[in-house]
Structure 1
Amino acid sequence: GTAKDSAAKDPPITVPSVKGRTKKDSLALVKAVRAGLENTSWPVKTVAPLPGSILPARRIIAFYGNPLSKRMGILGELPPDKMLARLDKEVAEWQKADPSTPVQPALHLIAVVAQGMPGRDGKYRLRMADTLLEKVASWAATRNALLFLDVQVGQSTVQEELPRLIPFLKRPNVMLGIDPEFSMKPRMDRKQHEMVTDKPGARIGTMSSDDVNYAIGLLSDLVTKNNLPPKVLVVHRFTHTMLTGAKKIRLDPRVQVVINMDGWGAPWLKYDSYRVYVEQEPVQFTGFKLFYHNDAKLGDPILTPAEVLLLNPKPHYIQYQ
């Protein structure tokens, strides 16, 4: 093993130079890229995409949030016309960064919002009115965009929350997101020696492969019964415990599963999280979330498309909050 041999094995990885990036950021990016290249599970050996599949042919660029709140993401932070103009701009940037992959715009609406208060039925979640879903659907239509409905179950369950969304999910351009961070299941409290269920936000929640498989089953049934193109299911993840039993997720050609790295922070932390929570537990497709505010809190410029596209596997779903 001369130095020459090892150089042949590990071609140097060139990181785009971005003002404000640290050595730590660059090293974390290289480490994530290399880990992905060395992980033979990527790309995941999966069923051939069915006709009408979005992935992997296209890359989804999604704006996330809720129009009722300026604090939940870009989707509600700007008035609709400004928000859509900003989405057009991001779509163009990504198209320029990777001309070989057509960009598919999307609006990712939090349709069930976790709450700090129990609410009428004690489930710590608020279901958005159909009129709000229709309003955002009409914005999506102006851009030929997908509409993702995101579900934060609080102390409810996906089994209770998803059926209500079926009339929307029956539409060809409506997709689904589920967020384990706000899925609060009973757990054994070691101090009190009893089962407790936390409020959303008190700690990071969790979903199991059963929850994900339930969502996959519901969507695949809709695809068959309504003769729809395959659905995309986004599952958010930035810790190990947020998603248990990832290996037991049962893939189905009618549903394309994206594990979306949705942690915020300095670039090195985002790369490390992608490597550990998404890359090392392959499911099917990958996503990466960028925060206009939280990622920039410490003065780091938000990651550029060129930086994110270096990652291996390349994320096919990009979300801006």
Structure 2
Amino acid sequence: MRLPLAALSLLLLGHLTTSCSSTESKQKTTAAAGDSAKADATETAAVKPVTRPSGSVSTGDSTLDSLTYAPKGAILPKYRIFAYYGNPHSKKMGALGKYPKEEMLQRLDAEIKNWQKADPSTPIQPALHLVATSAQGAPGKDGGYRLRMSDKTIKKVLKWGNEHNAIVFLDIQRGHAPLGPEMKYMEKYLKLPFVHLGIDPEFSMVTGAKPGKKIGSYDAADINQAVTFLSNIVKENNLPPKVLVVHRFTQGMIKNYKNIKLNPNVQIVMDMDGWGPPVLKKDSYRDYIEKEPVQYTGFKLFYENDFRKPGSRIMTPAEVLALNPKPMYIQYQ
């Protein structure tokens, strides 16, 4: 019997905790990190307005308007996206926060070279994938079971991407909070041409369970809501298509996939997001990604969790690129 893979990344109550168990027992890994719940009202240093390139968008925020990296046209399938995932406040959530900024970016570039050698025909677009709204084990003041990262934290990662010619994904783990307002919170950032969106069904707790206790889900209607939201931003601001990454590692995480509607303004990536030995990862990709196609596909690799089972190892670029369909989005945690 094929068993689902699991990998949880959960920010909990401002401190770090970790729990883990085997992939085969269907239990999950929880990495916890803290971020201040108080939004930063202003940056400490004033940012002088800059002249925006022709056709660019003003967000109304001088700091954001100083970020001028603007890839042209649709990213997929011309480029393969290669992303480091995590949160700068946590060494447990992934590569994005495990290392200091400069070391993290050096490691990103070195890994990209390995993938470029494996497929020289497809250029690679670097990316940083930030957990910008994180599921929580406690309800919070509004009962949302989620924590939005502060404006300061999000801008910091956007600056890293801007300096490194890397696109940035803002990922939503909504908990009990409605998806619409969580996306609206990201809107001013998504107006930048290099900023894209990720949504994580694992933490979409439609059953009312606490995040981390059960695996959540999104229906096609939820994904269509995100697509429409992004499409409107593209049309209103004359931007190139946005990329929407949807994480998945079980059958039940995505419901009614056939009802997902494609949109020329949004490129949908279904990302196989589970940890375990190569045989289980390949089986999950076939069962939940290949058999239920949407548009583009992604594949996630874990620097630590993919080694957790005896004899396990991280898959090589050649092995991942041998999958069908060939993943166009690669993520390392």
What TM-score, normalized by structure 1, do the two folds share? 0.80
Q: Which residue of 89, 97, 120 maps to 1:68? A: 89
Deviation (angstroms), 1:205: 0.3
Q: Which residue of 2 aligns with 1:184?
A: 205
AA aligned to 1:122 is: G
Deviation at 1:157, TM superposition (A): 2.0
Residue pairs, 1:115-126, within 5 angstroms = 115-126=136-147
Report the AA paired with residue 270 of structure 1: K
Higher relative contact order (CA 8 A, sep 6+): 1
In the alignment, which residue of structure 1 is the partner of 2:324? 312
Residue 140 (1) aligns with residue 149 (2): no
Look up the SS of the partner of 1:162 in the other structure.
Answer: helix
What SS does the aligned partner of 1:278 have?
A: helix
SS at match of 1:205: coil
What is the rounded CA distance, in whole Å, between the counterparts of 2:299 and 2:256 in structure 1? 21
| 1:183 shift after superposition | 0.6
- The separation in 2 between residues aligned to 1:170 and 1:210, in whole angstroms, is 23
Residues 268-301 of structure 1: per-residue CA shift (max 9 Å, x gap): 0000000000000010000000000000112422
Which residue number corresponds to residue 16 of structure 2? none
Q: Output the CA distance in 2 between the equivalents of 1:216 and 1:319.
A: 21
> Are 1:214 and 2:225 matched, yes or no?
yes
Aligned equivalent of 1:234: 245
Identical residues among aligned pairs (%): 59
Q: Is 2:107 the partner of 1:96?
A: no
Aligned mates of 2:203, 2:109 — CA distance in 1: 30
User: 2:251 aligns to what SS in structure 1?
Assistant: coil
Unaligned runs of 5+ in 2: 1-71
Structure 1 runs (4+) deviating above 3 angstroms are none
- Kindly state the Cα deviation for residue 310 of structure 1 after the two structures are TM-superposed: 0.4
Where does 1:161-310 land on structure 2 (aligned, <5 Å)? 161-186=182-207, 197-298=208-309, 299-310=311-322
Gaps of 5+ in 1: 1-50, 187-196
Q: CA RMSD in A?
A: 0.8
Per the alignment, residue 76 of structure 2 pairs with 55
Offset of 1:142 from its aligned partner? 2.1
Alignment partners' CA distance in 2, 1:52 and 1:91: 21
Q: Secondary structure at the match of 1:241?
A: helix
Q: Distance in 2 between matches of 1:134 and 1:304?
A: 33
The offset of 1:145, in angstroms, is 0.3
Larger Rg: 1
Alignment of 1:25-44 (within 5 A): none
Amino acid at match of 2:312: D
Q: Give a deviation string over 1:13-56, Cα, whole Å, max 9, x none.
A: xxxxxxxxxxxxxxxxxxxxxxxxxxxxxxxxxxxxxx701001
Report which of the two has the higher share of helix. Answer: 1
What does residue 130 of structure 1 align with?
Answer: 151
Cα distance in 1, alignment partners of residues 114 and 286 from structure 2: 24
Q: Is the 8 A contact 2:277 2:313 kept in 1?
A: no
Aligned partner of 1:138: which letter?
A: K
**Separation of aligned partners in 2, 1:176 and 1:258:** 10
TM-score normalised according to structure 2 size: 0.77
2:135 paired residue number: 114
Query: Cα offset for 1:159?
Result: 1.4
> Which amino acid is the alignment partner of residue 277 of structure 1?
Y
After superposition, give the CA deviation of every residue in 1:174-198 in whole Å (9 maximum; x if it has no partner).
0000000001013xxxxxxxxxx10
> Within 2, Cα distance between the matches of 1:132 and 1:242?
29
Q: How many corresponding residue pairs?
A: 261
C-alpha distance in structure 2 between counterparts of 1:140 and 1:101, whole Å? 21
CA distance in 1 between counterparts of 2:240 and 2:101 reads 28
Q: Which amino acid aligns with 2:192?
A: R
